[in-house]
Structure 1
């Protein structure tokens, strides 16, 4: 019995050492292989195939394709890339700033302890839970030139003399799209900002009030520094999502009138499935992806800095 113990102990140590070696090397690879295979199948391969298509002339109506090199990218840059980028930035900035301002104002109001804040919070979340296509059709009815609610209200108030084609005029179509997206986006920004406001210690507000600071001064010195990180991440995420937004714009205007609301998402869809030019659409999508990668890089750097 005395002589057998060291042998068993040695065997256990050897098995344990072998197990540690496997867990640090081959075992870890085996665990990640299913995830890597799935990623390669549904993300990596379609991405590489899409980028490759940008170097070919390919029509969806006919089989086969022809190598054209960088001609598709040159056509995109010399055609309407600048106008599409401008429309995308106008929509993205407008549909980010407007809901942020509304969401911040509502978050401040709800955080102040007004009566019925719980009920109001639930009501304000209502636009957020409605599908985007349903929201778009709702606002299409509101903006309708013939029987829209907006024209009816403005005519009765005497603000306009005749009906306005809000979605049919280049000067008003983008504004209408931004308003629609703002109505759908402000609730989630309000929730994020309200969560940030509730982390700011109430003692700091009370101390600032004792020192004679007014509401504006307390906001600048106490409230904003406490929610700046949350606000920055929220705005950046909303900016990225709006930069690639599709459904609201396409349902309301389809990129019109006269291309006034044509963003990258709409332009890629139009080129691929209405113009049947898959090579041109892929080239435009590739340049769009590069711009998105820049935004994602900014988000990652910002979030990394805020977590330190």
Structure 2
């Protein structure tokens, strides 16, 4: 070992490892996330290869791929996948269209009505559980205002059991979800419209282009990146939407409004089939991982433009 004179300091890095300050600062957060996210994920992967029921822990046995092959013949699994795709797809498409129209309309409002923007954002701030209870009352078969309005307009002759009919229940939860997430699109699109350079808009007006031409050739191309990113983000969010659906219907009637996240909950905490619930959760996690990767890829592509 080299003997360094006492009057001289040892070169930095000899005898100790220097940890950058930013690593020290983020380590507590990473440690907590590792416990909250990584441990349950690993546990789910392990449990997914076991036949494990909470009510019969003594009959736990290794099943390897049995839980995964069971999904192929599980009608409820495929129904929940179908419900998830319909719930997510319809919600995102309609919310996107209405949000874009709302953002363009708000952008045309005079300055004295700027407070309207804050009011429109209120639904986005309401928790999903509250939204679920609110729309459960709105679609109530006896006192719900939806039935009263439809009957008053002559559209229906008798009150409809919205939350007790398989098709109507799907419509009800989708309407509630759309109402809850439209403000997010309005907020994002409004910010995108405000970011369009005024010179470009003025040039289009000078050229004599109408509102429709301005929308197609100026507004829409500038909003393309925001449109893609917000849509992917909402797809991921809707895939995970548990509070609203469970509050309104509990996944019923029967399994008609059961999505992936609802099905996993019912398997684990109603049927206590932890092994199979973990396997379904792993598949659900893989789907979300693909969507998240796509989101990050799109976000990186947008930043590079």
Normalising by structure 2, we get a TM-score of 0.90
Partner of 2:269: 273
Query: What is the deviation of 1:102?
Result: 1.6
Which range moves more in the overlay, 247-256 or 114-123? 114-123
Residues 1:213 and 1:72: Cα distance change in structure 2 (over 3 Å): same
* Alpha-carbon distance, 1:222 to partner: 0.8
How far the C-alpha of 1:35 sits from its partner, in A, is: 4.9
CA deviation map 1:32-82 (0-9, x unaligned): 665554343222222101111111111122434221111111112220232
Quick check: 1:204 aligned with 2:206?
Answer: no
Q: CA deviation at 1:193?
A: 1.0
Tell whether 2:211 aligns with 1:215: yes
Aligned partner (choices 250, 254, 262) of residue 258 of structure 1:
254
Partner of 2:284: 288
Find the aligned partners of 2:108 and 2:32 in 1 and give their Cα distance. 48
Give me the TM-score of the superposition, normalised by structure 1: 0.89
Task: Structure 1 unaligned segments of length 5 or more: list them.
Answer: 1-6
Q: Say which SS state the counterpart of residue 180 (structure 2) adopts.
A: helix
Q: 1:277 to 1:127 in 2, by over 3 A?
A: same
Which entry has the higher C-alpha Rg, 1 or 2?
1
Q: 1:176 aligns with which of 148, 172, 175?
A: 172
Aligned length: 296
Q: 2:63 maps to which residue?
A: 68
Aligned to 1:47: 41
1:77 corresponds to 2:72: yes
2:291 is equivalent to residue 302 of structure 1? no
**CA 1:218/1:19 → structure 2, altered by over 3 Å: closer, same or farther?**
same
Q: Which runs of 4+ in 1 moved over 4 A?
A: 19-22, 32-36
- Structure 1 residues 226, 82: CA separation in 2 closer, same or farther (over 3 Å shift)? same
**SS of residue in 1 equivalent to 2:19:** helix
Flag structure 2 segments of 5+ consecutive residues without an equivalent. none
Q: How far, CA to CA, are the matches of 2:14 and 2:192 in structure 1?
A: 43
C-alpha spacing 1:263/1:34, structure 2 compared with 1 (3 Å): same
